[in-house]
Amino acid sequence: MGDKLCILDYGSGNVGSVFNMFSTIMDRVVVSNRPPDLISSTHIILPGVGAFGSAMEKIKKTIPLDVLEEEVLRKGKPFLGICVGMQVLADKGFEFGECKGLGWISGTVEKMESGDFSLPHVGWNNIEVSRQTKLFEGLSDNQDFYFVHSYVFKEKNSNDAAAKTDYGEKFTSVVARDNIFGVQFHPEKSQKAGRIILKNFLDIK
Amino acid sequence: MKKKRLIPVLLLKNGWLVQSREFKFYRNLGNPVDAVKRLNEWVSDELIYLNISKEEVYDIRRDDQNYPNRCSFEEIIADVSKATFMPMTVGGRIGNLNNIEKLLSLGADKVSINSKALEDKKFIEQSAREFGSQCVVVSIDAKIINGKYIVMSQGGSKETLYNPVEWAKTVESLGAGEILLNSIDRDGMKNGYDIDLLAAVSDAVKIPVIACGGVGEWAHFAEALQKTKVDAVAAANIFHYIDQSVYLAKKYLYEEGCNVRPCDLMPA
């Protein structure tokens, strides 16, 4: 039996694109929130678009968090959060009012201070790697990715940030701690570079 | 730093990919799904699909050796989104919020609204509130009439009372996230963008402006990026006739010093 990926299903808008991209990389991809799929998968992805609060609400309603935490926090299964899926790793967010997150990587999610630049931050922007992780293997230090967001992750422990991006302010675009990863950009929309990140994620055992 | 974008525009008429001139003359270029595969490999920054059909007839039967027969624009978009791993804007014939929801669910990241926005300004506001400004692109077709720029609706066939600058400011204030600015006079003419038009509109708004209409050589892309504040340069016809077209255009812009994505990961 090879790798199996579970893309967590909680009604997030970009599941289709994430699924399409992974289908070109591997055979066993499921979009599911059923405990057996979480348990039998080797890798777990939390996709996301939209606001922190509504994403958290849907996650709590549809995903068995006790099973997920057992698999990720205790068994150490590789986990990747994308966009809002990264943001909810924080302790809390402030989009449309304060809301509690998963609290797996300590920090808050706050509105970007982009100065003269318009929000949302939409488009291709490069990351500056501050700490090497397996995710970045085979990529240059200044690789461009596709972003769509107005809020950013402010980690409490600076060592949890793995890359930064500049848009009026320098914000954290990748977080990484042990088996838990989060990317603010959309690898599923970032062509070849995005595909490399996702492949690297699957290579983490 | 955020990059300037290079965007191929694909025009679909009754299910076929077509070339357009002055919004009047069309030439069939073949199957739209094949085209997107090609453009995806050539590293565009984004794709724009516009449905310019005047009636609801979609037929790509002549390709049925490789593809099942499609009967709607939506089905074509669903197919295309499986082959594309970059942001995709889809527009044409959008008349209500359900149309938008449907296109987003099929894999579009943004929708481009034109005539409906001119008919009913509130529609921009409603779309932005419902789906977020980041996915609302308002497309503006401008034409010079008696020496003045006029915004046209209904695929360039009907005059409105707006001038492009004023209309651009209006749509920005209503929550549009981006403007796709097309010059009808330059469409398919290969004589370059209407730089005055691009400069006027991109100076007037803070949201990104995508330039469209008139590109006949790579230098035209560079000219718009160097002389105006546009955030992206788009074109349709030029990308279909040259092998590796997007790659070559991108390489040219990078070497000209434009702030675009570098070519390091580009395929051979």
Q: Quick one: pLDDT at residue B68?
A: 47
Q: Which two tokens stand for residue B258?
A: 């434009």
Q: Tell me the chain A residues in contact with residue B209 when contact means C-beta distances shorter than 8 Å.
A: none
Q: Quick one: pLDDT at residue B42?
A: 65
Please give the full DSSP string across chain B, using - where no structure is assigned.
Answer: -BPPEEEEEEEEETTEEEEEETTTEEEEEE-HHHHHHHHHHTT-S-EEEEE--SSS----GGGTTTSPPP-SHHHHHHHHHHH--S-EEEESS--SHHHHHHHHHTT-SEEEE-HHHHH-THHHHHHHHHH-GGGEEEEEEEEEETTEEEEEETTTTEE-S--HHHHHHHHHHTT--EEEEEETTTTTT-S---HHHHHHHHHH-SS-EEEES---SHHHHHHHHHHS--SEEEESTHHHHSTTHHHHHHHHHHHTT-S---STT---
The mean per-residue pLDDT over the stretch B7-35 comes to 83
Of B248 and B244, the structure prediction assigns the larger pLDDT to B248
Q: Measure CB to CB from residue A194 to each of B85, B133, B207 and give the nearest one.
A: B85
Mean pLDDT of chain A: 93
| 8 Å CB contact of B86 and A166 | no
Of B83 and B66, the structure prediction assigns the larger pLDDT to B83
CA distance A95 to chain B (A): 13
- CATH code of domain A5-203: 3.40.50.880
Alpha carbons B216 and B238: distance in angstroms, whole number: 6
Residue whose C-alpha is closest to residue B193's, from B227, B239, B165, B148: B227
On the question of pLDDT at B258 being above 80, the answer is: yes
Q: Quick one: pLDDT at residue B41?
A: 64
CA distance B256 to chain A (A): 19
Nearest CA in chain A to B178: A122
Alpha carbons A3 and B123: distance in angstroms, whole number: 46
Q: Tell me the chain B residues in contact with residue A124 when contact means C-beta distances shorter than 8 Å.
A: 2-3, 5, 45, 261
Q: What is this model's ipTM?
A: 0.84
The mean per-residue pLDDT over the stretch A124-133 comes to 96
Q: Tell me the chain A residues in contact with residue B33 when contact means C-beta distances shorter than 8 Å.
A: none
The identity of residue B135, as a single letter, is C
Of A36 and A51, the structure prediction assigns the larger pLDDT to A36
Q: Is A186 a catalytic residue?
A: yes
On the question of pLDDT at B268 being above 50, the answer is: no
| 8 Å CB contact of A192 and B178 | no
Alpha carbons A188 and A190: distance in angstroms, whole number: 6
Per-residue pLDDT of A154-181, as tens digits, reads 999 999 999 999 999 999 999 999 999 9
Quote the Cα angle for B226-B231-B234, to 5°: 90
Q: How far from chain centre, in Å, is Cα A56?
A: 14
Structural domains of chain B ordered from first start = 5-255 (3.20.20.70)
User: CB-side exposure of A26: number of CA atoms within 13 Å?
Assistant: 24
Residue whose C-alpha is closest to residue A31's, from A63, A54, A61, A56: A63
What is the radius of gyration, based on Cα positions, of chain A? 16
Q: Quick one: pLDDT at residue A197?
A: 96
Q: Where are the domains of chain A?
A: 5-203
Instruction: Give the alpha-carbon dihedral of B107, B111, B112, B113, to 10 degrees.
Output: 140
Alpha carbons B125 and B123: distance in angstroms, whole number: 5
| 8 Å CB contact of B81 and A20 | yes
The mean per-residue pLDDT over the stretch B141-158 comes to 96
Do you find a cis peptide bond into A120, omega within 30 degrees of 0? yes
Q: Residue for token digits 């304060």? A: A98
Nearest CA in chain A to B232: A123
Q: Is A98 a catalytic residue?
A: no
Q: Quick one: pLDDT at residue B96?
A: 95
Alpha carbons A146 and B84: distance in angstroms, whole number: 14
Q: Quick one: pLDDT at residue B130?
A: 85
Q: Tell me the chain A residues in contact with residue B176 when contact means C-beta distances shorter than 8 Å.
A: none
On the question of pLDDT at B265 being above 90, the answer is: no
Alpha carbons B268 and B265: distance in angstroms, whole number: 9
Mean pLDDT of chain B: 87
On the question of pLDDT at B82 being above 90, the answer is: no
Q: Quick one: pLDDT at residue B115?
A: 95
Residue among A83, A118, A150, A173 with most chain B CBs within 10 A, to mutate: A118
The mean per-residue pLDDT over the stretch B155-173 comes to 96
Answer whether A32 touches B (CB < 8 Å): no
Compute CA distances A102 → A59, A106, A107, B166, whole Å: 10, 9, 10, 46
Question: Chain B interface residues facing chain A, Cβ-Cβ under 8 Å?
Answer: 1-3, 5, 40, 43, 45, 81-82, 85-87, 104-107, 109, 132-134, 177-178, 206-208, 231, 261-262, 264-265, 267
Q: Which two tokens stand for residue B123?
A: 């529609």
Q: Measure CB to CB from residue B265 to each of A16, A122, A192 and give the nearest one.
A: A192
Alpha carbons A184 and A164: distance in angstroms, whole number: 10
Q: Measure CB to CB from residue B86 to each of A121, A166, A189 and give the nearest one.
A: A189
Alpha carbons B118 and B99: distance in angstroms, whole number: 17
Alpha carbons A21 and B189: distance in angstroms, whole number: 37
Answer whether A126 touches B (CB < 8 Å): yes
Q: Quick one: pLDDT at residue B65?
A: 47
Q: Is A43 a catalytic residue?
A: no
Per-residue pLDDT of A96-113, as tens digits, reads 789 999 999 999 999 999
Q: Residue for token digits 């409490």? A: A156
Beta-bridged to residue A8, according to DSSP, are A32
Confidence of residue A91 (pLDDT cuts 50, 70, 90): very high
On the question of pLDDT at B109 being above 80, the answer is: yes
| 8 Å CB contact of A13 and B86 | no
Q: Tell me the chain B residues in contact with residue A13 when contact means C-beta distances shorter than 8 Å.
A: 104-105
The residue annotated as part of the active site, out of A71, A83, A99, A149, is A83
Answer whether A167 touches B (CB < 8 Å): yes
The mean per-residue pLDDT over the stretch B114-140 comes to 93
The mean per-residue pLDDT over the stretch B97-116 comes to 91
Q: Measure CB to CB from residue A191 to each of B2, B86, B109 and give the nearest one.
A: B86
CA distance A67 to chain B (A): 29
